[in-house]
């Protein structure tokens, strides 16, 4: 039986943006990269040409778009915007830190941290996020059989894609991290019977950046 061609996905998180260092829920807020983030985006772009990237897709939010443009310039392909790659909406918690959101809405916050079907007020749940992100990436993969594609997005979409590729329950996103300007490598294939056959090759690669990730100093 023949197998459909594998698509290699380079899942990149955007570089440092306003509020990233404070771990703010930027969500659907259209914040820009910091000066440091702009430098990170260039370092990320320098790390990817050896993959032979044939296409670059991005979230429409400025921080992802700027990161994608750096990559696309390096690999000499156009940027294609995919609206469903945008970050999870945090509703009324947008731009808050986790502690600020907890203090504002303690019961809702406690439920949100343990249940994937609970959304921030006027925001999106993890289930809603996964539905649109996985569908978007699956559509991208169908358009690029046998090719390598860079998908530039946000921490939430990267984590739900890793859960999908690994066959993990959605609650697994809380055990995965993705640093700014990092990338993951996933070989994505949908078999003839409709089942997903994916292999995760690399997770949260940051060796191309000029500084160690912040979590190395956290205890």
Give the catalytic positions in this structure: 14, 154
Measured between alpha carbons, how far is 11 from 201 in angstroms, rounded to an integer? Answer: 11
Measured between alpha carbons, how far is 70 from 49 in angstroms, rounded to an integer? Answer: 12
| DSSP-based three-state secondary structure for 67 | helix
Measured between alpha carbons, how far is 193 from 216 in angstroms, rounded to an integer? Answer: 43
Q: Are 93 and 25 in contact (CB under 8 A)?
A: yes
Q: Rounded to the nearest 5°, which phi and psi values hold at 10?
A: -100, 100
Sheet of strand 53-58: strand arrangement: 79-81, 53-58, 148-153, 7-13, 183-188, 199-205
Q: Rounded to the nearest 5°, which phi and psi values hold at 195?
A: -80, 150
């Amino acid at each position: 039986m023949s197998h459909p061609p594998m698509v290699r996905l380079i899942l990149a998180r955007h570089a440092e943006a306003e509020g990233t260092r404070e771990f703010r829920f930027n969500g659907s807020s259209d914040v820009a990269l910091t000066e440091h983030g702009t430098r990170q985006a260039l370092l990320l772009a320098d790390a990817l040409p050896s993959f032979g990237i044939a296409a670059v897709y991005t979230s429409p939010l400025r921080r992802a778009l700027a990161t994608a443009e750096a990559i696309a310039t390096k690999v000499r392909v156009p940027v294609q915007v995919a609206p469903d790659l945008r970050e999870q909406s945090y509703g009324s918690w947008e731009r808050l830190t986790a502690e600020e959101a907890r203090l504002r809405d303690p019961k809702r916050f406690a439920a949100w941290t343990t249940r994937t079907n609970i959304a921030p007020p006027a925001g999106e749940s993890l289930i809603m996020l996964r539905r649109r992100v996985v569908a978007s990436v699956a559509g991208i993969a169908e358009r690029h059989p046998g090719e390598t594609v860079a998908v530039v997005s946000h921490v939430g979409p990267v984590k739900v894609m890793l859960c999908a590729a690994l066959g993990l329950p959605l609650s697994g996103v809380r055990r995965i991290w993705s640093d700014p300007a990092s990338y993951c490598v996933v070989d994505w294939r949908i078999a003839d019977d409709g089942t997903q056959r994916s292999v995760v090759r690399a997770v949260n690669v940051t060796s191309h950046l000029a500084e160690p990730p912040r979590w190395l100093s956290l205890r």
